Structure 1
Amino acid sequence: MRKIWFSAFLLVSVVAGCGVRPSAVITGAPAPAGPANAAVLYFLSGGQPVRVLRPLADESPPVSLDLLAAGPDESERERQYTTEVPSGTTVLDQTPAPNGVTVTLSIDVAGLSARAVDQIVCTARDSLGGSAQITLRGGGSVRGPLSCPLPG
């Protein structure tokens, strides 16, 4: 009788499986693409802002907006990327604001073209890792709060 009982117990255990219950598919965010240490910059291609990943060599990257103001590098120029952000533009301060972040620049923001504003706002948004609204300040002028017109 013991042998039959043990055989029945063994059969039930095998049929029952290991105790892990099936579940629905668990989805997540898409896998990261591009270099592990890169800056996201928005340059112009055909007059429209486009997302560009620039690989970085060192572990402590410079501020993305400073890279944007430096303009496209050689490989980016070869791919016909341009910028309307004035050369020499630097970030003086980034301050949290109730609706996002205020970015103080070294230039008068009133004179920026609409495309330059889009480049700066989209680059700032991605460097801050979210969908924050960006207010630009500089030269006694304020623009914003603004949102990037492109998906992140």
Structure 2
Amino acid sequence: MRKTWFVLLLIVSVVTGCGVRPSGVIPGAPAPVGPANGAVLYFVSGGQPARVLRPIAGELPPASPVDLLAAGPDESEREQRYTSEVPPGTVALDQTAGPNGVTLTLSVDVAGLSARAVDQIVCTARDSLGGAAQITLRGGGTQRGPLSCPLPG
């Protein structure tokens, strides 16, 4: 009888004595910005900037996101009717962090960029730089900004 009580007490203590209690949802850290094996680019779809994930081959060094924008949509992106207003040959020459965000120096005169091209570049730069709030574009002796991406990140 004493052995039975001992076994029963042992079972009850194991089942109820683990100390884990239910809790509410515990939020974690924010999700990473952009995948490790792709570039987030903003092309134009329906007259508005649209977020596009372009896979990047692991064995090739990734190009600058602005360089990828200037190259335009690839075949699969064109099939989905994405376009770009970023002039071909546009290259990101330099980026500098400052008190108002990041200044991105381009190889083209930024005064001549369309509003959609500016949005494409600013949104792409924001995502590639880890969510920088303000982007200033500089090139051709002119400057535009600081600017924010009109789309949520």
Q: Give yes or no for TM over 0.5.
A: yes
1:48 alignment counterpart:
48
Whole-angstrom distance in 1 between the partners of 2:8 and 2:57: 64
Structure 1 stretches of 4+ moved >6 Å? 29-32
3-state DSSP of counterpart to 2:57? coil
1:126 alignment counterpart:
127
2:62 alignment counterpart:
61
Which shifted more, 142-151 or 6-15? 6-15
Distance 1:99 1:2, change over 3 A: farther
Residue 66 of structure 1 contacts residue 89 of structure 1 at CA under 8 Å; is this kept in 2? Answer: yes
2:141 alignment counterpart:
140
Q: 1:84-103 alignment to 2 at 5 Å?
A: 84-103=85-104
**Identity between Structure 1 and Structure 2 (%):** 79
Amino acid at match of 1:53: L
Distance 1:81 1:145, change over 3 A: same
Whole-angstrom distance in 1 between the partners of 2:35 and 2:125: 19
Deviation at 1:106, TM superposition (A): 0.2
3-state DSSP of counterpart to 1:69? helix
Q: TM-score, normalised on structure 1?
A: 0.87
Aligned residues: 151
Distance 1:110 1:132, change over 3 A: same
3-state DSSP of counterpart to 1:115? helix
3-state DSSP of counterpart to 2:84? coil
1:150 alignment counterpart:
151
Residue 35 of structure 1 contacts residue 55 of structure 1 at CA under 8 Å; is this kept in 2? Answer: no
Amino acid at match of 1:139: G
Long gaps (5+) in structure 1? none
1:6 alignment counterpart:
6
Q: CA RMSD in A?
A: 2.4
